């Protein structure tokens, strides 16, 4: 069975949107990556840290989906990372209300022996030094290393971020972050600049406007499926990354043509994630629903044209 190593947060979120609000619910980048990847029949190993306030039922739910949590450290007497945010009416912008690092403040990841040879590694949004320390622990070079990051690290740890970017194959960031990292407004030029930093592939996420894939002069665009309702976009980017990484791990094909499929699978799964608060929709999602919506994606973009 193919393996995926995913490093990130297993966390609590409290979310407020125009459609309602929640108390503390399960969230975190590694959680969403794992749930998305679980739809590909692979074994996903999570590396993260939580406090003893994390209910066993959450970890059991992940285990039942072939997600290995032996790399999730449980700190006795500690509290789990907590984030609270409020989304604006357009659902594209939000205000952070509370951020409590808790156990994440002193997190030193330990990769389980059984995942040190994982062919695909997903480095979720964490401090670049933490991401680098994971790569240092691997017993052999992966087929593909995917990295997600954000503008916070560009502001506070840019040199560390550039150092880890040199060691990866794919970077996934949003359009605002791509512009900040590259200093270029044009996303085509931004991708070129980021390529020069090391990654072979650059994936630029544009939220409800889809995603762009760049590779050495090649470019591919995947739309986002128009949805009637968006309840909570919090985990959409991580779900996209998990779908992307999970598909690559399953197919073991890192060609540009196959990357296109991975982008579509990531976009497809992200479109489900936003339909409910937190992980609720990803927990109930069936393979039949995934395949049906993939058909909708195909119909959205497929056309015939005669060139005279």
The predicted-structure confidence for 99-120, as pLDDT tens digits, reads as follows 999 999 999 999 999 999 999 9
CA distance 28 to 42: 20
Contact 168, 134 (CB under 8 A): no
The predicted-structure confidence for 21-39, as pLDDT tens digits, reads as follows 999 999 999 999 999 999 9
pLDDT confidence of residue 29: 95
Least confident piece of the model among 7-21, 145-159, 224-238, 283-297: 224-238
57 pLDDT higher than 90: yes
pLDDT confidence of residue 117: 96
CA distance 31 to 28: 5
pLDDT confidence of residue 195: 96
Contact 16, 85 (CB under 8 A): yes
Least confident piece of the model among 12-16, 90-94, 266-270: 90-94
227 pLDDT higher than 90: no
Kindly tell me the burial class for residue 275, based on how many C-beta atoms sit within 10 Å of its own C-beta (0-12, 13-18, 19 or more). middle
pLDDT confidence of residue 94: 87
pLDDT confidence of residue 298: 85
Is the whole model's pTM more than 0.75, yes or no? Answer: yes
308 pLDDT higher than 90: no
215 pLDDT higher than 90: yes
Q: What angle do CA 230, 190, 172 make, to 5 degrees?
A: 45
pLDDT confidence of residue 282: 96
225 pLDDT higher than 90: no
Q: What percent of the chain has pLDDT over 70?
A: 100
> What does the pLDDT average to over 252-277?
94
Q: Which residues contact 208 (CB under 8 A, 6 or more apart)?
A: 91, 92, 224, 230
**Higher pLDDT residue, 305 or 80?**
80
> What does the pLDDT average to over 188-203?
96
């Amino acid at each position: 069975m193919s393996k995926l190593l995913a490093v990130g947060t297993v966390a609590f979120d409290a979310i407020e949107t125009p459609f309602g609000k929640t108390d503390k619910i399960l969230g975190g980048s590694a959680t969403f990556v794992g749930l998305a990847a679980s739809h590909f029949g692979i074994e996903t190993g999570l590396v993260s840290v939580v406090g003893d306030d994390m209910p066993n039922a959450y970890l059991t739910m992940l285990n039942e989906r072939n997600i290995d949590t032996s790399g999730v450290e449980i700190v006795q007497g500690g509290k789990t990372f907590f984030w609270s945010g409020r989304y604006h009416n357009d659902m594209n912008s939000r205000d952070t209300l509370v951020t409590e690092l808790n156990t994440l403040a002193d997190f030193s990841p330990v990769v389980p022996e059984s995942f040190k040879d994982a062919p695909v590694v997903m480095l979720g949004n964490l401090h670049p030094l933490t991401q680098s320390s994971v790569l240092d622990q691997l017993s052999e070079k992966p087929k593909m290393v995917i990295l997600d990051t954000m503008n916070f690290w560009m502001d506070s740890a840019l040199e560390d971020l550039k150092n880890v970017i040199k060691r990866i194959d794919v970077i996934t960031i949003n359009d605002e972050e791509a512009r900040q990292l590259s200093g270029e407004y044009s996303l085509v030029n931004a991708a070129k600049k980021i390529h020069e930093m090391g990654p072979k592939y650059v994936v630029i996420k544009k939220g409800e406007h889809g995603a762009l894939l760049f590779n050495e002069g090649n470019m591919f665009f995947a739309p986002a499926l128009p949805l009637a309702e968006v309840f909570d976009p919090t985990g959409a980017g991580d779900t996209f990354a998990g779908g992307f990484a999970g598909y690559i791990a399953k197919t073991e094909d890192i060609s540009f043509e196959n990357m296109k499929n991975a982008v579509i699978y990531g976009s497809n799964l992200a479109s489900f994630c936003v339909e409910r608060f937190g992980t609720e929709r990803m927990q109930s999602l069936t393979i039949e629903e995934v395949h049906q919506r993939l058909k909708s994606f195909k119909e959205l973009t497929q056309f015939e044209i005669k060139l005279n």
